[in-house]
Amino acid sequence: MLPGLVAGLAICAATAIAAPHTVRNNNGSPTVTIKDGTVRGRDNAAYSQQEFLGIPYAQQPVGDLRLRPAKALASGFGDLDATSYGPACWSRFGPAFDDNSGYESSESCLYLNVVRPYGIYNGEGGKTAPVVVWIHGGGLTTGSAADRRYNASAYVDASVQNGSPMVFVSINYRLASFGFLGGQALADEGSLNLGIRDQRLALKWVQDNIAAFGGDPSRVTIQGESAGGRSVFAHVVANGGKTDGLFHRAVVQSGSGLGAFSLPGSGAFQQNFDSLLGNSSCASTRSSSGAEQLACVRQLPVEEFRRFSNGSTGILRDNTLFNVPNTIVAVESGNYARVPFLITSNTDEGVSFGVKGANTTEQARERITSVPEANRDDMLELYPNVPALGAPFNTGDYQLYPIQNNVFLTPGLQNKRVDAITGDVSQQAGPRYFAEKFSSDGLNVYRGRFNHIPWTVSWGQQDYVGHFTEVSYAFNLQNNDTAFWEQYHFTATYLGPGAPIQDRALGDYMSRSWAAFVTEGDPNKANFTGKPYWPKYSENQSNLVFQTQGSIVEKDNYRSEGIRYIIDRVFKTAA
């Protein structure tokens, strides 16, 4: 454990662990009829829930529909077996991405999943429940709604334990070059930001169909982590902040949202499109019209398309969804969705992203790649070479040499300095800016900081509160599959029977707080004995710090000078 992080018993933890689930007779396999057909799901008796998996929400983007905005289903699917997840969308090409975390991958991947607790049946008698839509992370290049680290069973059960059940939806969306390829030809055609457009089409599907599952389309929360959190912020400013009724609350976990909406025909984005043309079987179309180029790449074999479009991708300025340089410009001008927010980040985010191996100030300068050249000297002054002030924080002069997947990270005397800057630029400045701005505009904002090293991580493997570590606790992850835990040892934490009681309590507390925000708009309505009051950010600009030795409220003013510089001089000036 980090010095100062004493593994203690969470307040009243023993009384917070959920009672055994009540199993009810749900009359066999669940069936729901929507306009596209009959959806036959599966029963999850252990959690008193029903699951409807692998439901198509769009025409599959294959053949001539590749690299086009997804279209709603043109015809019904009849009787659908919805007892298994649909395939993941293809990830970025390369050894670290090819299998997309071991799941079957396909271009035919626009599927979603619905989980509901017993008692929420097809909107019978007008009874409907609030809905949360999960948008997975993965850098917009990898990930899947089928990833079992996002198992919703305990999260949905947390809403039941609160006495206010919710319906959970998770979605796939196109990734990497399939969903976020740039290039002027795609811009001219109106085919940019396809992954974000997929997400919005899935949200439209929820509006049209979720009532049949017992969900309330007027109470939809969008929730995402990392790139999923960035996607949430993208929806908040898309179309000039018009939600079109697609969502009504937002949860962002470790998603900065301050990155630029780059021009599609410039720099690395155009180069990636040109590489696809120049190195593939479509090389003969390099001097042809954009329409002819796109007609060719739409017919490329999928592996050829992936191999030669492996460069820069991302959310781009398309003059429809996004017509501003970045999110700050939209928010500062008031063109964003006025909805309640729950926004969190983790203590040592930068350790997960910082470029290691800096032993001199010049090497540190080279490695703070998230900072524009013009701002790097100022940043190094604001973040001096004092290891005790660096990330991981609150560790004194301790130098972090963790093992990740059995590979030592490069040691460096200024790693902590680089990681502190990287984390504040990539993950801390955004949440603070949005919390300040949204609350000053009169919105209810709850800001949190996750500050716990998972119990499953031993010394030398991940001795810091890094990116993604809060996900298992927000979902209260309790998958009992041994093979699952062997696969995800570094990125998931078991919180079921056999885990330390303080970790189980923290999972209960966080999942119930998240669920209470989804259903009531107030995380303080979580059913958890002895919980601290989570103030709105407008009350005193504070965070709730989640940790097993007792969650506390802190002023959100850590590294105030550096983070203020990042907001005002790095992001606002760049806009």
- pLDDT one-digit tens code per residue, 379-428: 999 999 999 999 999 988 876 555 454 444 567 899 999 999 999 999 99
Predicted local confidence at residue 124, as pLDDT:
63
Q: How far apart are CA 183 and CA 306, in angstroms?
A: 16
SS3 for 415-446 is HHHHHHHHHHHHHHHHHHHHHHHHHHCCCCEE
Return the half-sphere exposure (C-beta side, CA atoms, 13 A cut-off) of residue 198: 35
- For residue 65, the one-letter residue type is L
Q: How far apart are CA 430 and CA 257, in angstroms?
A: 6
Taking only the tens place, the pLDDT of each residue in 470-510 is 999 999 999 878 888 877 877 899 999 999 999 999 999 99
Alpha-carbon torsion, ordered 269, 273, 274, 276, to 10 deg: 140
Residue 346 neighbours by CB distance under 10 Å:
27
Residue listed under structure tokens 């203690």? 8
Burial class (CB in 10 A: 0-12, 13-18, 19+), 367: buried
Closest to 3 measured CA to CA, from 336, 282, 394: 394
Q: How far apart are CA 255 and CA 263, in angstroms?
A: 21
Q: How far apart are CA 199 and CA 402, in angstroms?
A: 36
Reduced to 3 states (helix: H, G, I; strand: E, B; else coil), residue 563 is helix
pLDDT tens for the chain, 575 residues: list them: 333 333 333 434 433 433 333 333 345 689 999 999 999 999 999 999 999 999 999 999 999 999 999 999 999 999 999 999 999 999 998 755 445 556 789 999 999 999 999 999 876 667 799 999 999 999 999 999 999 999 999 999 999 999 999 999 999 999 999 999 999 999 999 999 999 999 999 999 999 999 999 999 999 999 999 999 999 999 999 999 999 999 999 999 999 889 899 999 989 999 999 999 999 999 999 999 999 999 999 999 999 999 999 999 999 999 999 999 999 999 999 999 999 999 999 999 999 999 999 999 999 999 999 999 999 999 999 999 999 999 999 988 876 555 454 444 567 899 999 999 999 999 999 999 999 999 999 999 999 999 999 998 754 455 789 999 999 999 999 987 888 887 787 789 999 999 999 999 999 999 999 999 999 999 999 999 999 999 999 999 999 999 999 999 999 999 999 999 999 999 998 66
Q: How far apart are CA 407 and CA 480, in angstroms?
A: 27
Structure tokens at 488: 């995800």
Return the half-sphere exposure (C-beta side, CA atoms, 13 A cut-off) of residue 505: 23
In contact, 425 and 371? CB cutoff 8 Å: yes
What are the chain's domains? Answer: 29-263+312-344 (3.40.50.1820), 264-311 (no CATH), 347-423+452-574 (3.40.50.1820)
Taking only the tens place, the pLDDT of each residue in 65-93 is 999 999 999 999 999 999 999 999 999 98
Taking only the tens place, the pLDDT of each residue in 422-444 is 999 999 999 999 999 999 999 99
